Structure 1
Amino acid sequence: MFCNQCEQTAKGKGCDKIGVCGKTPEVAALQDLLTHSVKGLSLYAHAGRKVGVVDNEVNRFSCEAIFSTLTNVDFDPARFVAMIERCDALKERLKTKVKAAGGQVSFGSEPEPGFLTKVARVILGGGQPDFTKHPEISFTAAGTTQLVPMGEKVGFAPRPDVNADLESLRQILTYGLRGVAAYADHAAILGQESDEVYDFIHEAMAATLDQSLGLDELIGLCLGCGKANLKAMELLDAANTGSYGHPVPTEVPLGPKKGKAILVSGHDLKDLGMLLEQTAGKGINIYTHGEMLPCHGYPELKKHPHFHGHYGTAWQNQQKEFAEFPGAILMTTNCIQNPVESYKGNIFTTGLVGWPGVTHVSKDFSKVIEKALVMPGFAKDEDKGSVLTGFARNAVMNVAGTVIDAVKSGAIRHFFLVAGCDGAKPGRNYYTEFVEKVPQDCVVLTLACGKFRFFDKKLGDIGGIPRLLDIGQCNDAYSAIQIAVALAGAFNCGVNDLPLSMVLSWYEQKAVAILLTLLHLGIKGIRLGPSLPAFITPNVLQVLVDTFDIKPITTPDADLKAILG
């Protein structure tokens, strides 16, 4: 196997024996083959749009399949085999539709010797399936033992015959698309979709097969990915706020309440909403974990009296925190870690999340509820303090006048967006120290699970404005962007001219998509850490530095001095 898509990848280069996330070589190969299969499907989808053929099942499946390959989502090989088979079926159906409409269904020469014909065209003699020439290749009749070696041939393992810089850009694009697909899937679950996003996903996935594309073309596609992600986050924002209201500042207890308990982790608001409805009146308190913390700010979720508080911190601490939780646990989207035996019988997955041996449930959460009712729950009430959340764009813009006056008077000198993914790799204490050292006349905006390095710090306020503002989940980067745009408008300047600095941490592919969005918007001077992506070559990094002044973090003292002077 070879996988370098996350920040914690082995030796800063790539996992080649087993993933640091826990995925096996078998799962890694099947993920690569599914990705490759979706690229073939994307060729037909993109060609179909040119002749008016749009298949929404293909759109939805493409996002689900791509999202499933994102870090810490699905580790179940059987589910990937089923997705590969479904991809083949959709490919055949779409090809028939496109051909009937007069569209392109041939993308290369006739199959050369070494290909089997029709179903399960498995390469003879160890050749490599090339969807650029043969997008019609199908694996439906192949078993897992045949699929795994095929997947090993189509990943991003370094090859001497491939231009490293161009391959780096193809990786950035592919990983960014995984983030876009995740947000598009979240939004579609709540009824918000856009063919503009689906069209770009298919165009860009197909483009990764085109070896003739050069540096400028691939950079353009990467920035286009950022644009598509902005739209996907806008859709998700509309989906969340349209379903559950705009977040309002909310104090969230960190201590438990006596009684039965269910812990919800991941990102999905609809799953949480359905669970709250299904547990009403059952004597079970619902707690959030990780990126679910901001859910407490949504009016239609917080109205449930048994939606109590937040438990634990970020995803990488779940093995310790879940083991100590005295109730059932529901994983709704990405961020699952290998469940340890002490709680493996208490954890459930839903949606695209999967782990072998863990019970998977649909949107009927009766099994989760039954487990919670037979577990001990919390023995007593505990006061462990509280944190504030709910400072999304509406909440901030409602006090925009106060904020603007504070900036003009000098009461607020600077804003810092300290945001992104958390992780276990050493070096992330930088973000804790950075926030602790931010001067008293500055405000810290934060979002995503990176906040758990400092989310419970009591930083006080400036004229009633809290110095630490939790904007929300990682997708709420959309809110942060809207806040920045509104402030720039109020001060009649560009976003890059604002007293605003972005200090970001990354871990997985949603963060890649958000970074591409910021670059698409022309945001400059971003500081990124704790380490730079292994899939970015020195030459590509230099392009980013020269064009966007992107830079690695150094030390909190040095970076604060450079920013504030």
Structure 2
Amino acid sequence: MGMFCYQCQETARGTGCEFGGVCGKSEELADLQDLLIYTVKGISDIVVKGKMDVGLLRDVNHEVLKCLFMTITNANFDDDIIIQKIKEMISIRDHLREEIREKALEEDLHDAATFEVKSMNDLVFKASYAGVMAKENEDIRSLRQLITFGIKGLAAYTHHARNLGKEKDALYAFIYEALAGTLNDMLSAEELIALTMKTGQFGVTAMALLDEGNTSKYGNPEITEVSIGVRENPGILVSGHDLTDLEQLLEQTQGTGIDVYTHSEMLPAHYYPAFKKYGNFAGNYGNAWWKQTEEFVTFKGPILFTTNCIVPPDDEEVRSRIFTTGASGYPGCIHIEADDSGRKDFSKIIEMAKTLEAPTEIETGKIVGGFAHEQVFTLADKVVEAVKSGAIRKFFVMAGCDGRMKSREYYTQFAQRLPRDTVILTAGCAKFRYNKLDLGDIGGIPRVLDAGQCNDSYSLALIALKLKEIFELNDINDLPIAYNIAWYEQKAVIVLLALLYLGVKNIHLGPTLPAFLSPNVAKILVDTFGIAGIGTVDEDIEMFLGVSI
């Protein structure tokens, strides 16, 4: 059947990748990832139909999270790792099926829970038939994929929380429920829509749990100036999203003469008080993930990928300096696993850094961030007064992802052309489109308030809910807040579903609407929630503000 993948915004022709992914994955890898997800859905079918206690499935829960995370766009490109994980999950699945044999008849289980592979040929053949297009009904397929992609994002945030020692059995139970639901041919479109909204509900739960994990361990983010220049020491560049990996690396580099820099979504680590004690935590190097092909060349030192956002490196020299860990992986790059206690040995990265040059400076100056919920709450009186006085006319939530498409220049131009009495609330790597622009402030309040990583979009929701309370409004949509969000991959999908669950309406999503939304499903989102795409910068600003510019 070949591959078909449309889970990211950059999917080919805006419809789907069929001859290799725009992200760089091969047809074979795409099929293998589909089979891994199919197998995880089979495990979910067994857990749900066997009424298994997820509290007793601790190791299984963790492996399911990792598998879901591994298939997120730009996370893992290593066929061998995916094949090994498929085999492991089939073994786990078959063991679980034996455990419930008395509770569920074999014929009651879905093919995903029972298929057999006796050879690599069987595995490859099965992979080619386990993909997106297996379901013929376009609307049911669309809703199933919307749920699946949302669950991938939810799993990523749950995985991070788990690394911080925070878990909730209810999250695991829902992941199994939702994935099993995508196999159930008895569920109607209306029931799948309800399951989609429930996915948003648990997305809020997952982001709240991760926020609790981050802030309880590292403190509440605070307003911070982050250097974007370089020092004279050799350096290690950390990309991805996982703060626990960064913490371990900082601890292991103490006294080595090696500086540590963040890249892209790791920038917000600088906002947490706990990381400020490390004198070798040098600053942020570069921009959003997609510029890494040029920025990794000039960095000179080793790069550690803690999660997704890998762009396949064409330069062999750069590839030799890339290390992966967690759910990330790339063929030919050294992968670092944690031991049973969760500790990772980064000595190979540190030793390599000692032999390499210091980074080449590509920019100078500082950028300001750290406007998560608690920090903004301390400014609440100032913000409220600015709104009441008219100094702040409107807030624009411009959270989400960045990407390679030229159409994303829209977001830079939008930020530049917004009137001076507006404030941008942001989270995720979309901010790199405008966080280095001189947009000024309003009475000391910066016009770009960066809450952090994509998962920190939860902070933006809390801020909105707090303002609703302060202004004594009945509806969150009565606030002077507009939503103009850029999306790229599946973590943005769960953020969107979480916002919809919280009641936020009239979200504009771009640069294109998801290809996995069928016309009928898209119409439901438009009619129910006011979801819309983007137009031109001038048209959209006029629409949001109700005035010509």
TM-score range, shorter chain: over 0.9
Matching residue of 2:57: 55
For the Cα contact (< 8 Å) 2:93–2:113, is it kept in 1? Answer: no
Matching residue of 1:79: 81
Separation (CA, whole Å) in 1 of partners of 2:134 and 2:112: 23
Matching residue of 1:539: 520
Separation (CA, whole Å) in 2 of partners of 1:163 and 1:146: 27
Matching residue of 1:194: 168
Deviates more, 1:87-96 or 1:76-85: 87-96
1:331-375, Cα deviation, whole Å (9 max, x unpaired): 100001112213111111111111111111231000100110000
User: What is the letter of the counterpart of residue 106 of structure 2?
Assistant: S
Offset of 1:457 from its aligned partner?
Answer: 1.1
Change (3 A) 1:467 1:216: same
Matching residue of 1:119: none
For the Cα contact (< 8 Å) 1:44–1:105, is it kept in 2? Answer: no
Matching residue of 1:483: 463
For the Cα contact (< 8 Å) 1:392–1:479, is it kept in 2? Answer: yes
Matching residue of 1:255: 229
For the Cα contact (< 8 Å) 1:418–1:446, is it kept in 2? Answer: yes
Offset of 1:426 from its aligned partner?
Answer: 2.3
User: What is the letter of the counterpart of residue 270 of structure 1?
Assistant: T
Separation (CA, whole Å) in 1 of partners of 2:461 and 2:122: 46
Offset of 1:67 from its aligned partner?
Answer: 1.0
Matching residue of 1:142: 119
Separation (CA, whole Å) in 2 of partners of 1:105 and 1:78: 34
- Picking from 324, 349, 352, the partner of 2:324 is 349
Secondary structure of 1:524's counterpart equals coil
For the Cα contact (< 8 Å) 1:4–1:13, is it kept in 2? Answer: yes
Structure 2 residue 446 is matched with structure 1 residue 469: no
Change (3 A) 1:314 1:53: closer
Offset of 1:92 from its aligned partner?
Answer: 2.5
Separation (CA, whole Å) in 1 of partners of 2:350 and 2:203: 35
User: What is the letter of the counterpart of residue 387 of structure 1?
Assistant: I
1:116-156, Cα deviation, whole Å (9 max, x unpaired): xxxxxxxxxxxxxxx625622243x432x331221110101
Secondary structure of 2:516's counterpart equals coil
For the Cα contact (< 8 Å) 2:259–2:281, is it kept in 1? Answer: yes
Structure 1 residue ranges, 4+ long, deviating more than 6 angstroms after superposition: none
Deviates more, 1:53-62 or 1:229-238: 53-62
Separation (CA, whole Å) in 1 of partners of 2:408 and 2:300: 29
Secondary structure of 2:406's counterpart equals coil
Secondary structure of 1:551's counterpart equals coil
Offset of 1:396 from its aligned partner?
Answer: 0.4
Separation (CA, whole Å) in 2 of partners of 1:30 and 1:51: 29
Secondary structure of 1:489's counterpart equals helix
For the Cα contact (< 8 Å) 1:51–1:103, is it kept in 2? Answer: no
Secondary structure of 1:7's counterpart equals coil
1:288-342, Cα deviation, whole Å (9 max, x unpaired): 0010001000111121011011111011111111111121111100001112213
5 Å-filtered alignment, 1:157-556, equals 157=133, 162-340=136-314, 341-362=316-337, 363-378=344-359, 384-493=364-473, 494-556=475-537
Offset of 1:51 from its aligned partner?
Answer: 6.5
> How many pairs align?
536
Matching residue of 1:104: 104
Separation (CA, whole Å) in 2 of partners of 1:323 and 1:52: 45
1:466-505, Cα deviation, whole Å (9 max, x unpaired): 1111110000011111110000000111210000001001
Structure 2 residue 110 is matched with structure 1 residue 132: yes
5 Å-filtered alignment, 1:1-80, equals 1-49=3-51, 54-80=56-82
User: What is the letter of the counterpart of residue 30 of structure 2?
Assistant: A
Q: Which runs of 5+ in 2 are unaligned?
A: 338-343
Separation (CA, whole Å) in 1 of partners of 2:409 and 2:356: 35
Give the TM-score, by structure 1 length.
0.92
Separation (CA, whole Å) in 1 of partners of 2:236 and 2:112: 49
User: What is the letter of the counterpart of residue 560 of structure 1?
Assistant: I
User: What is the letter of the counterpart of residue 521 of structure 1?
Assistant: L
Separation (CA, whole Å) in 1 of partners of 2:54 and 2:14: 45
User: What is the letter of the counterpart of residue 366 of structure 1?
Assistant: S
Give the TM-score, by structure 2 length.
0.95
For the Cα contact (< 8 Å) 1:107–1:135, is it kept in 2? Answer: no
* Aligned residues with identical type, % of pairs: 47
Offset of 1:392 from its aligned partner?
Answer: 0.5
For the Cα contact (< 8 Å) 1:389–1:470, is it kept in 2? Answer: yes
